[in-house]
Amino acid sequence: MVVPALIGSVTTIETHRAINAVWRIESAKLIAGLTRMVGDVGIAEDLAQDALLVALERWPESGVPDNPGAWLMTTAKRRAIDLLRRDKRLALKHEQLGHELEAEQERAVPDLDASLDDHVGDDLLRLMFISCHPVLSTEARVALTLRLLGGLSTDEIARAFLVPIATIAQRIVRAKKTLSEAKVPFEVPRGTELEARLASVLEVIYLVFNEGYSATAGDDWMRPALCEDALRLGRVLAELAPGEPEVYGLVALMEIQASRTRARVSASGEPILLLDQDRTKWDRVLIGRGLAALDRAAALGGAQGPYAVQAAIAACHARAHVADSTDWARIAALYEVLARLNPSPVVELNRAVAVSMASGPAAGLALVDALTSEPSLTDYHLLPSVRGDLLMKLGRKEEARAEFERAASQTRNAREQAILLARAAAC
């Protein structure tokens, strides 16, 4: 939710900005905690929004509390009790919540804040499994998770998946209604059900990470907070399912990719491509964690899983302290393995880049040209971007310029568009 800027004193405006910041940080945890209590994700989101409106009314006068997340949760719980009082069928739940609220009000604020943090990891994980429940379509699972856990607006989700905003809004509303009608429990699945739903959870976590790693729209190249959210969920999931190699494969992939964060953007916010990055800025701690997770995946027999293979590709870059020492032949071979495991035009495009680095731009261009008639890549800006780069290396500047301009017209990220137009101009 975007809090409107109100005309008033500087203090009021600053308070509303602070509320905006608090909401971005606390909303997912708030919704997750409320879902645990009321058992309905739709009602939980409504309660969270109600608490935000109360904050908008009171905080400009009273100031932002020391523990805003705890304040919002307490306010939302009061709203929950009011709601339950109107439904006599939930009298037992009302009594339970009433006792819980009274107990929390008797404790000091720091203790209340700590009690919220005690549950936040588990609650976020439970919310992830609800958002990815099989009763929902794949599209609905992705949209709902990005909305509730990723903090993306309906517009951002719509742009990411190239569908109308109204379509995404309807998916989210219907998804919450479906979960309510199906009375989906707020719990982590177990046994065979856990295995069946794990693949969807992994997919959604990585989608959240990717939206943070390379923003699909807007003026920012990255949204690091989303990457951090996805990493946290992935790490918690690894603790939950210690015997699942693909969980470690995904964690390894995200850790290694996240290690490049400081090197991916210039001081002025301009994107820096992988081969141009200052690798001394790469976070060696995150790389170490990623390589350890990759070793764990291999030890569990999952070295050939799709996420583990992608992590192995990322590891090739991480082990190369300078770009010229990158083992492109191994990367090309790993992309060939990935293409067999998860056939897709995007994987083939990435393989073409690796082949061009290992065997020359002409070899890569031949693979890219074979993808130009692929319908799913018609509006995919990285296809003309890659093709333009290879044409430039081959000295075919006029063709390269046209490709860069086409790529710039297709991307929705302002930073990326500026780079592509600059490359076109350089031709």
**Is 32 within the bounds of a domain?**
yes
- Residue 305 resides in a domain: no
Q: Is residue 182 part of a domain?
A: no
- Number of structural domains (the chain) is 1
For residue range 124-160, list pLDDT tens digits in order. Answer: 778 888 998 889 988 898 889 888 877 777 887 776 6
Structural domain includes residue 302 = no
Which tens digit of pLDDT belongs to each residue from 229-270? 789 889 988 987 788 999 999 999 999 999 999 998 888 878
CA distances in angstroms from 223 to 218, 261, 344, 421, listed in the order given: 10, 10, 26, 23
Among residues 335, 337, 314, 338, which one has the least CA distance to residue 326? 314
The more confidently predicted of residues 232 and 383 is 383
Is 63 within a domain?
yes
42 φψ region: left (φ > 0), alpha (ψ -120 to 50), beta (else): alpha
Q: Which is more confident, 74 or 91?
A: 74
Mean pLDDT across the chain: 84
Q: Answer whether residue 220 is part of any domain.
A: no
Q: Would you say residue 343 lies in a domain?
A: no
- CA distances 106 to 64, 99, 103, 111, Å, are 21, 11, 5, 10
Question: What per-residue confidence (pLDDT) applies to 20?
Answer: 76
In a domain, 334, yes or no: no
The string of pLDDT tens digits covering residues 51-81 is 988 888 888 888 888 888 889 989 998 888 7
Nearest to 198 by CA among 148, 238, 153: 238
pLDDT of residue 95: 60
Task: Categorize the per-residue pLDDT at 107 as very low, low, confident or very high, splitting at 50, 70 and 90.
Answer: very low
Evaluate if residue 309 carries a pLDDT over 90: yes
- Domain containing residue 113: 1-119
pLDDT at 218 over 60: no
